[in-house]
Structure 1
Amino acid sequence: MVSSLDGAVAAGGAGSQGLSTPADRELFRSLRRAAGVVLVGAGTARDEDYRGVRPRRPTADEPVPGPPPPVAVVTGSAALDPAAALFTDTVTAPIVLTTAAAPPDRREALRAAGAEVAVLPDLAPGTLLGTLARRGLHAVLCEGGPTLLGALVAADAVDELRLTLVPVLLGGPAGRIAAGPVAAAPPRGMRLAGHTAAGDGTLLLHYVRPGGAADARTVHPPNE
């Protein structure tokens, strides 16, 4: 997630892309390369004109890279354009996570466009993550938007957070990185596992949930 210093998550009508810096974009690409699946809400996918994850370049350690992870889109209405880049500019077929309440013709149109359409009983965080896990997709990279992230926070399903702070002040009505009708109770404590300051003042923060899987993979400071 990316935010201005005063908490704004969008700038200049360009969504989060209006805030992103070179350091943030490089982190974004590296997180996608390591993910098993990219999870995103339909509003964010539409607003930011999502497309498939780009294939990895060959390296000495991986001369023949595996396929990029799929993008899994959460949508109650299945109101996605089958001609959008999400379906036409991708190597790995996207996954559409929806319910039986979505019009059947929309679901069929997305299947015809090459998507895997999963019809779920609901779109609660546990249902979404369980559906992905049954497909072997355990390393879930959530890219928002705020409502989806807010639901994951409220369900205590966020194991780590990568937060980029961009050195600008915006003011105005821009929203937060996580929002929704249900707040986490109690608040979810996180531990700072690392941080990097870029030359332009961008601050890349890495937080993990204490005792979680991500916490076990990080090194604790000597005084912990």
Structure 2
Amino acid sequence: MPGHPRTSPAGNPPVLAEPLEVLYEEPGLPCWQLPMRLAAAYGGDLGFAEPCLYANFVTSLDGVVALGHEYRSSGSAISGREPADRFVMGLLRACADAVLIGAGTLRASPTHHWTPVHVCPAAQADFTALRQSLGRPTRPELVVVTASGDLPLGHPALLEGALVATTAAGQRRLLGQLPSTCTLLALGPGPRLWMREVLTAVGARGHAVVLTEGGPRLLGHLVGEGLLDELFWTVSPVLAGRNASHRPGLVDGRELLPGQPVRAEAVSIRRRASYVFLRYRFPRHGPDRP
């Protein structure tokens, strides 16, 4: 397994003042040897079987993932910008070949960069060391999915460079409009994109370990096509509430129960103060997978 020496520069402070407490961990999980400060903060090592598609979300106690279109970067409001949650987000990005998001997530986070250091700059050197030990480039490739081609073209994450997966109609809309740092990929005539085809194209670029950060509608497509392998779920100790605005849960745009139950198995439970960090494994064959 890939590894990294358990060394840390003298006098380097810990990544987290209070590390995650391990309440449960299934024996025999895949693991890569993390740099010492990352392992200390996470409470052990972390790794993935390849290929793997895993998701990371934070929700309120009442299951809200996003506060509505009128609220920008609502994930930060739900998480309270908890350092442990931001560390886990950075660690999961540091493990990934690519980070997969939808156009809605891009629009809702106008200044965000989907890199490990953006959410946890204190661990920059450790994230770099981990990626080097795994043979990864400096940052994961950002993959943006849009059927329509409706994207905020000046977004800093696009200027930094991304793979944009779209339909033929979306390609016509974006051709000559995207920053030169982006790669445009048309997958079928539309009107929808099949996530299996997106992931096949991502895999052809050498990306075997893919993290998705949403949003809930994209996760619904991934679950519906039986493609999700794991879910990392932070439960924030706050109530969001619901009234007139649309405040989705983890999966949006698709009904699963009662006809298509998708069951998961808990493989890890951690906590930091009143925040709970859950890890679930999904069966390889979901409801729409042959």
Contact 1:38 1:71 in 2 (8 A): yes
Match of 2:76 in 1: 17
- 1:61 deviates by 9.2
The alpha-carbon distance between structure 1 residues 202 and 11, as it changes in their structure 2 partners (threshold 3 A), is: farther
The alpha-carbon distance between structure 1 residues 108 and 52, as it changes in their structure 2 partners (threshold 3 A), is: farther
Match of 2:187 in 1: 120
Question: Is residue 2:135 matched to residue 1:67?
Answer: no
Q: Distance in 1 between matches of 2:262 and 2:60?
A: 22
Q: Distance in 2 between matches of 1:10 and 1:82?
A: 23
- Code of the residue aligned with 1:25 in structure 2: it is R
Q: For residues 161-200 of structure 1, what are the alpha-carbon distances to aligned partners after superposition, in whole Å with 9 as ceiling and x for unaligned?
A: 000000111211421111114537531211111111102x
Match of 2:87 in 1: 26
Alignment of 1:186-205 (within 5 A): 186-199=260-273, 201-205=274-278
Q: For residues 5-36 of structure 1, what are the alpha-carbon distances to aligned partners after superposition, in whole Å with 9 as ceiling and x for unaligned?
A: 11111359242121122211110000000001
Q: Choose from 153, 157, 166 the match for 1:82.
A: 153
Identity between Structure 1 and Structure 2 (%): 31
Question: Is residue 2:98 matched to residue 1:37?
Answer: yes
Q: Distance in 1 between matches of 2:239 and 2:260?
A: 30
Any idea what SS the aligned residue of 1:44 has?
helix
Q: Distance in 1 between matches of 2:130 and 2:254?
A: 48
Q: For residues 31-82 of structure 1, what are the alpha-carbon distances to aligned partners after superposition, in whole Å with 9 as ceiling and x for unaligned?
A: 0000011000001111112335256524499499732111100011222233
- 1:119 deviates by 0.7
Contact 1:72 1:97 in 2 (8 A): yes
Q: Distance in 2 between matches of 1:48 and 1:86?
A: 10
Deviates more, 1:178-187 or 1:79-88: 178-187
Q: Distance in 2 between matches of 1:17 and 1:172?
A: 18
TM-score by length of 1: 0.83
Match of 1:218 in 2: none
Any idea what SS the aligned residue of 2:170 has?
coil
Aligned pair count reads 207
Q: Distance in 2 between matches of 1:152 and 1:176?
A: 15
Alignment of 1:66-215 (within 5 A): 66-88=137-159, 90=160, 93-102=161-170, 104-110=172-178, 112-121=179-188, 122=190, 123-173=193-243, 174-183=247-256, 185-199=259-273, 201-210=274-283
Q: What CA RMSD, in Å, does the superposition of the two structures yield over aligned residues?
A: 2.5
- Code of the residue aligned with 2:216 in structure 1: it is P
Any idea what SS the aligned residue of 1:117 has?
strand
Q: Distance in 2 between matches of 1:52 and 1:10?
A: 17
Deviates more, 1:202-211 or 1:37-46: 202-211
Any idea what SS the aligned residue of 1:102 has?
helix
Unpaired runs of 5+ in structure 1?
A: 213-224
The alpha-carbon distance between structure 1 residues 101 and 169, as it changes in their structure 2 partners (threshold 3 A), is: same
- 1:153 deviates by 0.9
Any idea what SS the aligned residue of 1:205 has?
strand
The alpha-carbon distance between structure 1 residues 144 and 198, as it changes in their structure 2 partners (threshold 3 A), is: same
